[in-house]
Structure 1
Amino acid sequence: MKKADLKSLDLAALWRGLTRPDPAGHDRVVPPTGFTAQLTVFSAGAMAFLAVFALALALATGRLAERWSSELAQTVTVRISAPADQMDQQTRAVMAALETTPGVAEARQLPDDEVEKLLEPWFGPDVPVEALPVPRLIEVTEASSGFDAEALRLRLQGEAPGAVLDDHTRWREPLVSAANRLRALGLISLALIAAASAAMITLATKAAMAANGQVIRVLRLIGARDITIATAFVRRFTRRAAMGAAGGTALGMVAVWALPAVDQAGAFLTGLGFQGWGWLWPLLVPVFAAAIGFAATRWAALKILREVR
Structure 2
Amino acid sequence: MSANAAAAPEPKGRPAPKTGSKPKPKTSGAPRARRQGPIVPASSVSGHTLVMVIAIMTYLAALTAGGVDLVRATAAGWERDIVRETTVQIRPADGRDMNAAVARVAEIARAAPGVVEVRPYSEAETARLLEPWLGAGLSFSDLPIPRLVVLRLSDDGRFDPAALKAALEREAPGASLDDHRRFLDRLVAMARTLVALGLGVLALVLAATVLSVVFATRGAMAGNRDIVQVLHFVGAKDGYIAGQFQRRFLRLGLKGGLAGGLAAIATFLLAELTAEQGVGSAAVDQMDALFGRFQVGPTAYAGVVAIVVLISVLTAVTSRVTVFRTLRALD
TM-score by length of 2: 0.75
Partner residue of 1:299? 321
The match for 1:63 is 73
Task: Tell me which residue corresponds to 2:199.
Answer: 187
Q: Distance in 2 between matches of 1:50 and 1:35?
A: 23
Quote the RMSD (CA, aligned, Å): 3.0
1:230, CA displacement in angstroms? 0.8
Give 1:291 shift.
0.5
- Give how far 1:251 is off: 2.7
Structure 2 counterpart of 1:253, which letter?
I
2:69–2:299 CA contact under 8 A, matched in 1: no
Provide the rounded CA distance (Å) in 1 between the counterparts of 2:93 and 2:49.
72
Q: Which residue of 2 aligns with 1:255?
A: 267
Q: Residues 291 and 121 (structure 1 numbering): CA distance in 2 closer, same or farther, change over 3 Å?
A: same
Tell me which of 161, 171, 175 is aligned to 2:183: 171
In the other structure, the counterpart of 1:20 is none
Distance in 1 between residues matched to 2:299 and 2:209, nearest whole Å: 27
8 Å contact from structure 2 (residues 79, 188) kept in 1:
yes
Secondary structure in 2 matching 1:54: helix
Per-residue Cα deviation, 1:262-286 (whole angstroms, up to 9, x for no partner): 2288429975563467545423333
Aligned match of 1:44 in 51, 54, 59? 54
In structure 2, the CA distance between the partners of 1:99 and 1:45, relative to structure 1 (3 Å rule), is: closer
Counterpart-to-counterpart distance in 2, 1:97 and 1:273: 36
- Letter of the structure 2 residue corresponding to residue 199 of structure 1: L
CA distance, structure 1, for counterparts of residue 292 and residue 113 of structure 2: 35
C-alpha displacement of 1:91? 4.6
Letter aligned with residue 193 of structure 1: V
Q: Does 1:238 align with 2:260?
A: no
Match of residue 114, structure 2, among 88, 95, 103 = 103
TM-superposed CA distance for 1:188, in Å, is 2.2
Q: Is the alpha carbon distance of 1:256 and 1:93 closer, same or farther for their aligned partners in structure 2, counting shifts above 3 Å? A: closer
Correspondence 1:284 to 2:302: no
1:120 is matched with 131
Identity, in percent, stands at 29
Q: C-alpha separation between the residues in 2 aligned to 1:116 and 1:132?
A: 11
Deviation readout 1:60-115 (Å, 9 max, x if unpaired): 21222233333453111111224242346655654454344322233343222221
> Take 1:290 and 1:188, find their aligned partners in 2: how far apart are those partners?
20
Task: Tell me the equivalent position of 2:149.
Answer: 138
Determine the structure 2 residue equivalent to 1:21. none
Which 5+ residue runs of structure 2 have no aligned equivalent? 1-30
Letter in 2 for 1:47: M
Q: Which sections of structure 1, spanning at least 5 residues, go unmatched?
A: 1-11, 18-24
| SS of corresponding position for 2:144 | coil
Give the letter for the 1:160 counterpart. A
Distance in 2, Cα, partners of 1:277 & 1:170 = 29
CA contact (8 A) 2:92 2:145 kept: no
> Which whole-Å CA distance do the structure 1 matches of 2:207 and 2:154 have between them?
48
CA distance in 1, matches of 2:137, 2:244: 70
Residues 108 and 138 of structure 1 are in contact (CA less than 8 Å); yes or no, is this contact kept in structure 2? yes
Instruction: Report the count of equivalent residues.
Output: 288
Please report how far the alpha carbon of residue 54 of structure 1 lies from its aligned counterpart in structure 2 after TM superposition.
1.0
After superposing the two structures, state which structure 1 stretch, 94-103 or 112-121, moved more.
94-103
Given that 2:257 and 2:308 are in contact with CA atoms closer than 8 Å, whether structure 1 keeps it comes out as: yes
Residue 93 to residue 252, structure 1, CA distance change in 2 (3 Å): closer
Q: Deviations over 1:229-248 (max 9, x none)?
A: 11111111111121122222
Q: Does 2:39 match 1:29? A: yes
Structure 1 length-normalised TM: 0.80
| Whole-angstrom distance in 2 between the partners of 1:143 and 1:251 | 42
Letter in 1 for 2:308: P
> 1:198 — aligned with what?
210
After TM superposition, give the deviation of residue 308 of structure 1 in Å. 1.7
Given that 1:40 and 1:237 are in contact with CA atoms closer than 8 Å, whether structure 2 keeps it comes out as no
Matched, 1:225 2:237: yes
Q: Give the greater-gyration-radius structure (CA).
A: 2
The structural deviation recorded for 1:218 is 1.0
Structure with the larger helix share: 1
